[in-house]
Amino acid sequence: MEEDDEQQRKIAGVVKWFDGSKGFGFLTDPEGGADILLHANVLRNFGQSSVAEGSHVVAIIQKTPRGMQAVEVLEITPPASEPMPAIADLCSATPEEIAQLPLLPARVKWFDKAKGFGFANIFAEKADVFLHVEVLRHSGFADLAVGEAIALRVVDGRRGMMAAQILSWEKAAIEARQTQPGGAAALAKLRLVAGAV
Protein backbone atom coordinates (compact mmCIF):
# COMPACT_ATOMS: atom_id res chain seq x y z
CA MET A 1 0.00 0.00 0.00
CA GLU A 2 2.83 2.41 0.79
CA GLU A 3 4.25 1.91 -2.69
CA ASP A 4 0.92 2.98 -4.24
CA ASP A 5 0.77 6.05 -1.99
CA GLU A 6 4.27 7.08 -3.07
CA GLN A 7 3.25 6.91 -6.72
CA GLN A 8 0.18 9.09 -6.19
CA ARG A 9 0.29 12.86 -6.44
CA LYS A 10 -2.11 15.75 -6.68
CA ILE A 11 -2.15 17.75 -9.91
CA ALA A 12 -4.09 20.65 -11.41
CA GLY A 13 -4.45 19.79 -15.09
CA VAL A 14 -6.59 20.85 -18.02
CA VAL A 15 -8.97 18.60 -19.95
CA LYS A 16 -7.42 17.94 -23.35
CA TRP A 17 -10.51 16.01 -24.45
CA PHE A 18 -13.16 13.72 -22.99
CA ASP A 19 -15.50 11.43 -24.92
CA GLY A 20 -18.33 10.02 -22.82
CA SER A 21 -19.22 7.41 -25.46
CA LYS A 22 -15.67 6.04 -25.32
CA GLY A 23 -15.66 6.31 -21.54
CA PHE A 24 -12.42 8.23 -21.17
CA GLY A 25 -10.41 11.30 -22.01
CA PHE A 26 -7.12 12.94 -21.11
CA LEU A 27 -5.78 15.71 -18.90
CA THR A 28 -2.59 17.61 -19.66
CA ASP A 29 0.18 17.21 -17.10
CA PRO A 30 1.07 20.63 -15.66
CA GLU A 31 4.66 19.41 -15.25
CA GLY A 32 4.92 18.70 -18.97
CA GLY A 33 4.77 14.91 -18.74
CA ALA A 34 2.64 12.52 -20.75
CA ASP A 35 -1.11 13.06 -20.84
CA ILE A 36 -3.10 11.64 -17.91
CA LEU A 37 -5.95 9.20 -18.52
CA LEU A 38 -9.30 10.28 -17.06
CA HIS A 39 -11.68 7.31 -17.00
CA ALA A 40 -15.45 7.88 -16.96
CA ASN A 41 -15.80 5.88 -13.71
CA VAL A 42 -13.43 8.26 -11.92
CA LEU A 43 -15.42 11.22 -13.24
CA ARG A 44 -18.71 9.57 -12.18
CA ASN A 45 -17.33 9.10 -8.66
CA PHE A 46 -17.01 12.89 -8.60
CA GLY A 47 -20.64 13.21 -9.69
CA GLN A 48 -20.36 14.09 -13.39
CA SER A 49 -20.73 11.98 -16.50
CA SER A 50 -18.77 14.40 -18.70
CA VAL A 51 -16.40 17.33 -18.55
CA ALA A 52 -15.87 20.14 -21.07
CA GLU A 53 -12.64 20.49 -23.00
CA GLY A 54 -10.47 23.16 -21.37
CA SER A 55 -11.93 22.65 -17.88
CA HIS A 56 -9.43 22.80 -15.03
CA VAL A 57 -9.32 19.61 -12.99
CA VAL A 58 -7.66 19.01 -9.63
CA ALA A 59 -7.09 15.28 -9.29
CA ILE A 60 -5.08 12.59 -7.58
CA ILE A 61 -3.10 10.68 -10.21
CA GLN A 62 -1.20 7.43 -10.02
CA LYS A 63 1.41 5.74 -12.17
CA THR A 64 0.17 2.50 -13.74
CA PRO A 65 1.85 0.06 -16.13
CA ARG A 66 0.07 1.90 -18.98
CA GLY A 67 0.99 5.42 -17.84
CA MET A 68 -0.42 8.08 -15.54
CA GLN A 69 -4.09 7.81 -14.62
CA ALA A 70 -6.45 9.93 -12.53
CA VAL A 71 -7.73 7.91 -9.56
CA GLU A 72 -9.81 10.65 -7.93
CA VAL A 73 -11.22 13.98 -9.11
CA LEU A 74 -11.21 16.61 -6.36
CA GLU A 75 -12.44 19.70 -8.20
CA ILE A 76 -13.57 20.81 -11.65
CA THR A 77 -13.64 24.44 -12.77
CA PRO A 78 -15.32 25.29 -16.09
CA PRO A 79 -13.02 26.51 -18.84
CA ALA A 80 -12.07 30.16 -18.78
CA SER A 81 -13.71 31.40 -21.93
CA GLU A 82 -15.31 34.27 -23.65
CA PRO A 83 -18.58 35.54 -22.22
CA MET A 84 -21.52 33.26 -22.84
CA PRO A 85 -23.11 33.89 -26.24
CA ALA A 86 -26.37 35.79 -26.06
CA ILE A 87 -29.27 33.50 -25.30
CA ALA A 88 -32.55 35.37 -25.54
CA ASP A 89 -33.85 34.46 -22.08
CA LEU A 90 -30.48 35.08 -20.38
CA CYS A 91 -29.40 38.32 -22.07
CA SER A 92 -30.20 40.58 -19.15
CA ALA A 93 -28.93 38.30 -16.38
CA THR A 94 -25.42 38.96 -15.08
CA PRO A 95 -23.26 36.15 -13.61
CA GLU A 96 -23.74 37.76 -10.19
CA GLU A 97 -27.52 37.72 -10.57
CA ILE A 98 -27.46 34.09 -11.70
CA ALA A 99 -25.30 33.14 -8.70
CA GLN A 100 -28.00 34.55 -6.40
CA LEU A 101 -30.68 32.23 -7.80
CA PRO A 102 -31.56 29.22 -5.62
CA LEU A 103 -30.13 25.81 -6.45
CA LEU A 104 -32.87 23.38 -7.46
CA PRO A 105 -32.33 19.59 -7.39
CA ALA A 106 -33.04 17.97 -10.77
CA ARG A 107 -32.50 14.93 -12.94
CA VAL A 108 -31.73 14.95 -16.65
CA LYS A 109 -34.76 13.84 -18.68
CA TRP A 110 -32.77 13.79 -21.92
CA PHE A 111 -29.99 15.75 -23.61
CA ASP A 112 -28.95 15.63 -27.29
CA LYS A 113 -25.54 17.19 -27.81
CA ALA A 114 -25.99 17.21 -31.61
CA LYS A 115 -29.25 19.18 -31.33
CA GLY A 116 -27.72 21.43 -28.68
CA PHE A 117 -30.40 21.08 -26.03
CA GLY A 118 -32.31 18.84 -23.67
CA PHE A 119 -34.58 18.90 -20.64
CA ALA A 120 -34.44 18.19 -16.93
CA ASN A 121 -37.08 17.62 -14.27
CA ILE A 122 -36.93 19.55 -11.00
CA PHE A 123 -38.02 17.69 -7.89
CA ALA A 124 -41.70 18.30 -7.09
CA GLU A 125 -42.24 20.37 -10.27
CA LYS A 126 -44.28 19.26 -13.27
CA ALA A 127 -42.77 21.59 -15.88
CA ASP A 128 -39.59 20.66 -17.73
CA VAL A 129 -36.51 22.89 -17.58
CA PHE A 130 -34.79 23.65 -20.89
CA LEU A 131 -31.03 22.91 -20.98
CA HIS A 132 -29.05 24.82 -23.65
CA VAL A 133 -25.70 23.41 -24.80
CA GLU A 134 -23.94 26.78 -24.25
CA VAL A 135 -25.11 26.92 -20.63
CA LEU A 136 -23.91 23.33 -20.29
CA ARG A 137 -20.46 24.17 -21.70
CA HIS A 138 -20.08 27.29 -19.56
CA SER A 139 -20.98 25.19 -16.54
CA GLY A 140 -18.09 22.80 -17.29
CA PHE A 141 -20.00 19.89 -18.84
CA ALA A 142 -19.58 18.39 -22.30
CA ASP A 143 -22.71 16.24 -22.15
CA LEU A 144 -25.33 14.95 -19.71
CA ALA A 145 -26.60 11.41 -19.17
CA VAL A 146 -30.27 10.49 -18.82
CA GLY A 147 -31.11 10.31 -15.13
CA GLU A 148 -27.99 12.20 -14.04
CA ALA A 149 -28.51 14.09 -10.76
CA ILE A 150 -27.71 17.79 -11.14
CA ALA A 151 -28.58 21.10 -9.52
CA LEU A 152 -29.90 24.02 -11.54
CA ARG A 153 -30.26 27.75 -11.27
CA VAL A 154 -33.35 28.51 -13.32
CA VAL A 155 -34.82 31.59 -15.00
CA ASP A 156 -38.38 31.90 -16.24
CA GLY A 157 -38.01 32.56 -19.95
CA ARG A 158 -40.47 33.43 -22.68
CA ARG A 159 -41.09 29.75 -23.44
CA GLY A 160 -40.85 28.40 -19.90
CA MET A 161 -38.18 27.53 -17.39
CA MET A 162 -34.56 27.53 -18.59
CA ALA A 163 -31.35 26.55 -16.82
CA ALA A 164 -29.04 29.54 -16.34
CA GLN A 165 -26.39 27.40 -14.61
CA ILE A 166 -25.86 23.66 -14.17
CA LEU A 167 -23.87 22.18 -11.29
CA SER A 168 -22.89 18.61 -10.50
CA TRP A 169 -24.72 17.22 -7.50
CA GLU A 170 -21.52 17.19 -5.43
CA LYS A 171 -20.53 20.75 -6.35
CA ALA A 172 -24.03 21.97 -5.47
CA ALA A 173 -23.83 20.28 -2.07
CA ILE A 174 -20.47 21.92 -1.36
CA GLU A 175 -21.74 25.32 -2.52
CA ALA A 176 -24.92 25.01 -0.45
CA ARG A 177 -22.83 24.24 2.61
CA GLN A 178 -20.34 27.08 2.07
CA THR A 179 -22.03 30.06 0.49
CA GLN A 180 -25.77 30.17 0.71
CA PRO A 181 -27.78 31.47 3.64
CA GLY A 182 -29.22 28.45 5.40
CA GLY A 183 -26.57 26.32 3.69
CA ALA A 184 -27.04 23.44 6.12
CA ALA A 185 -30.79 23.41 5.44
CA ALA A 186 -30.20 23.61 1.67
CA LEU A 187 -27.72 20.73 1.90
CA ALA A 188 -30.19 18.67 3.93
CA LYS A 189 -32.87 19.30 1.28
CA LEU A 190 -30.46 18.27 -1.50
CA ARG A 191 -29.68 15.04 0.38
CA LEU A 192 -33.34 14.38 1.15
CA VAL A 193 -34.45 14.56 -2.47
CA ALA A 194 -31.40 12.86 -4.02
CA GLY A 195 -33.15 9.55 -4.41
CA ALA A 196 -36.56 10.97 -5.13
CA VAL A 197 -35.82 13.34 -8.01
Residue limits of CATH 2.40.50.140 in the chain: 2-77, 89-193
Note the pTM of the prediction, 2 decimals.
0.70
Would you state the pLDDT for residue 192? Answer: 47
DSSP line for 133-178: HHHHHHTT-S---TT-EEEEEEEEETTEEEEEEEEEHHHHHHHHHH
The amino acid present at 102, given as its one-letter code, is P
Would you state the pLDDT for residue 144? Answer: 92
What spatial distance separates the first Cα and last Cα of the chain, rounded to whole Å? 39
Q: Which CATH superfamily is domain 2-77 in?
A: Nucleic acid-binding proteins (2.40.50.140)
Q: List pLDDT tens digits, range 120-133.
A: 999 988 889 999 99
The amino acid present at 128, given as its one-letter code, is D
Would you state the pLDDT for residue 1? Answer: 40
Would you state the pLDDT for residue 126? Answer: 86
The amino acid present at 67, given as its one-letter code, is G
Cα separation, 16 vs 53, in Å, equals: 6
Would you state the pLDDT for residue 194? Answer: 46
Q: What are phi and psi of 184, to 5 degrees?
A: -65, -40
Q: Kindly report the length of the chain.
A: 197
What is the fold of 89-193?
Answer: OB fold (Dihydrolipoamide Acetyltransferase, E2P) (2.40.50)
State which residues of the chain have pLDDT below 50: 1-3, 183, 187, 190, 192-197
Cα separation, 25 vs 37, in Å, equals: 6
Q: HSE of 165 in the Cβ direction (CA atoms, 13 Å)?
A: 19
